Amino acid sequence: MKKYLSFILSAFLIGLTACNNSGQNNTSNMQTTDFIPGERVEAVIKQLKDSLGEVHALRIERGIRQVAGLWRKSDGTADDFTGFCKSSFISDTAQLSRLFNTLERNFEVINGYYHKMDVMLKAPLQLEGPEITPVDMIFGGYNASAHLADDLYDNKAAFLTALNFPFYTLKEKTELGEGWSRKEWAYARMGDRFTSRVPASVQQDISGTITEADAYISDYNIYMGNLRNKNGERLFPANMKLISHWGLRDELKSNYADNEKGLEKQRMIYRVMQRIIDQSIPLQVINNDNYLWNPVTNGLFDNNGDTVASTPENVRRYEVFLKNFRAMRRLDPYSSHYPTELVRAFDGTMEVPQKDVEELFRGLLSSPQVKEVASFIESRLGRKLEPFDIWYNGFKSGGGIPEEELTAITSQKYPEAKALEEDLPNILVKLGWKPAKAAEITSLVTVDASRGAGHAWGADMRNDVARLRTRIGAEGMDYKGYNIAVHEFGHNVEQTITMNDVDYYMLNGVPNTAFTEAVAFLFQKRDLELLGLKNPNPEDEYYLALDNFWSCYEIMGVSLVDIKVWEWLYAHPDAAPEQLKEAVISSAKEIWNSYYAGVLGGEDETLLGIYSHMIDYPLYLPNYPMGHLIAFQIEQQVRGKNLAGEIDRMYTQGSIIPQLWMKNSVGSPISIEPLLSATNEALRALKK
């Protein structure tokens, strides 16, 4: 699991920069229509073209139009605009290069130190420690950089950047990017930086709203030892506390190895999930161990077994979701290139059009391989599949090892965060890095005990540390925490390489978050190997393909629900939380009936609505299946080669567009075909 939105959001809001000074609240500062008349814009363009020649025509036209779209009354008169464009447009190649170097260096300084401030302010909300206080929420939700853009427009640095480094659409980057040099790509990324002016008040509202959502989800724990079946029996360890949905899902997965009570425990978790989705879950059992609860009947009891009146959560989950939507929608008027959150998520952030993403997902979900793999799973389980078998994980190497045994190993090996941090260099050496490089990378990674399920948070400037957060209990790190930690460490390695080893700061990072998920998946799939439990089974390659296929089958449907709900929200912007709840449930049922009911049963099943990302991280979910597809293609590329060398080769490309990155790395674009082909091959081999 990867909590990455805070990074994405801060990076995106830096690009969608603010327009109002904190002391200026007049209506001109909230202007979203052009202040500079069109005829003035055309006149300035003509004057500069006549003066400098057609060789600079594209940059002149793009730059002046971009500045005109960003200019407000508070920035000066139309004559001031004209004077600025004439005096600030740079035609000399050497001078333009010097300007780029200066801007790049200064943006790294600004980004890096604001990021460090954000990390420290959010620490009480994200790390284990005392109970969160209202003051913690105030400072954790505070965006220290919200007014940065005011200053960058006031001192004209933003205009200088927009004027000299043109913005290219995704279509243009796709058509032109293959012929660009590294420096031209860096220039294009500089052109992405100032595309809109978002008021600081909007930025602060979004930051505070996302922080509230994160706190809501981070504290959404179920005390599993307090659950009771119809006979009043406890099925789970007394001290087990699981976060929704990640911990619940992972516990459900782990019980495929329990031949005695595993199926009953899975069915109980399944009912807990359904109660969360429809909000019939009692408020008294959320992050509270004072009551006993039967999730099947929804009966609530005190510790003596006497019935207690319960209060359902009702619509709180959807209130948080709706608040996120309304906060993100406030960006729309200021985002001329990306006018809705859906367009921003796909064209702006993922840089893969929504229609292309949906086509990939629906192609796999409707493939004949789905029923063939499901039939194979049934033969292994010896029973008909049920809806929660969407999380079947019996394809993993060592999948038959009981989780208790794995936890015994991990808790002894990692009794505290420091033990994991000290072992990170050894993990990288096992994965193929040379000791010196392993030490260099891990010197820039720190490990903390997480209040939530766990996440990775990269640095925003070179030589700063990336942060690995995972849950570590009083008795050490259990296997779930370890599995998440290995996943997050994959993110940290990518973050560190793409921040420190990419040639231009403006190209740091990855094309989109699916690419960092790909590295995380590569690491996570090797978690048992890193514990010395690798099963040298020649069939592992086939099981890897089936595991990847089934993981895609799971998360692609969830992603389609997320997309569908956001489309519904834009069609019903004034919806109430109760209406949103019904829309989520309806969308989950529709996607389930289309792609899952005929395979897993459960007509009108709501299970696809359980994912906490929908509540916590707007439109992040589609990155996971894209990450699975990318990871599989990369896995095929690195097979038989040194993993470390291939990751270094591929990821030092930095943040060029996704399809070009893939072509350079594996020789083909993002596709479901390699996975479908490998799935067919695996089924043929394993059915013999």
DSSP for 480-529, please give it: HHHHHHHHHHHHHHHHHHHHHSSS-GGG-S-SSHHHHHHHHHHHHTTHHH
Rg (CA), the chain: 26
* Residue in the block written with tokens 């500062």: 29
For residue 470, what are the β-bridge partners? 449, 454
Phi, psi of 34, rounded to the nearest 5 degrees: -65, 135
Q: Which two tokens stand for residue 318?
A: 């959807």
Phi, psi of 476, rounded to the nearest 5 degrees: 100, 180
- pTM reported for the whole predicted model: 0.82
What are the C-alpha distances in Å from 502 to residues 301, 361, 432, 495, 560? Answer: 58, 31, 20, 11, 34
Q: Within 13 Å and on the Cβ side, how many CA atoms surround 620?
A: 22
Cα–chain center distance at 564: 18
Dist. CA 172–CA 581, nearest whole Å: 39
Q: What is the 3-state secondary structure (H, E, C) of 275-314?
A: HHHHCCCEHHHECCCCCEEECCCCEEECCCCCECCCCECC
Task: Decide: helix, strand or coil at residue 449.
Answer: strand
Contacts of 281 (CB under 8 A, 6+ apart): 272, 275, 295, 298, 312, 313
Q: Integer distance in angstroms from the first to the last C-alpha of the chain? A: 35
Identify the pLDDT of residue 537: 64
10-residue mean pLDDT profile of the chain (688 residues): values are 41 40 35 80 97 95 96 96 98 98 98 94 88 91 85 95 96 96 98 90 89 93 97 96 95 93 97 98 97 98 95 97 96 92 95 97 98 97 97 75 90 95 97 98 94 86 94 88 93 97 97 89 90 74 92 97 98 98 98 98 97 93 92 90 96 97 96 97 92
What are the C-alpha distances in Å from 208 to residues 7, 74, 620? Answer: 14, 27, 18
Identify the pLDDT of residue 145: 86
Identify the pLDDT of residue 144: 86
Task: Decide: helix, strand or coil at residue 366.
Answer: coil
Task: Decide: helix, strand or coil at residue 597.
Answer: helix
Contacts of 536 (CB under 8 A, 6+ apart): none
Task: Name the residue type at position 425.
Answer: P
Identify the pLDDT of residue 141: 85
Identify the pLDDT of residue 684: 96
Contacts of 388 (CB under 8 A, 6+ apart): 252, 266, 267, 269, 270, 273, 607
Task: Decide: helix, strand or coil at residue 187.
Answer: helix
Q: Which two tokens stand for residue 322?
A: 């709706």
Contacts of 524 (CB under 8 A, 6+ apart): 483, 486, 487, 490
Residues 435, 429 contacting (CB under 8 angstroms): yes
* Residue in the block written with tokens 């820039």: 444
Identify the pLDDT of residue 248: 97
Q: How many residues does the chain have?
A: 688
Dist. CA 328–CA 148, nearest whole Å: 19
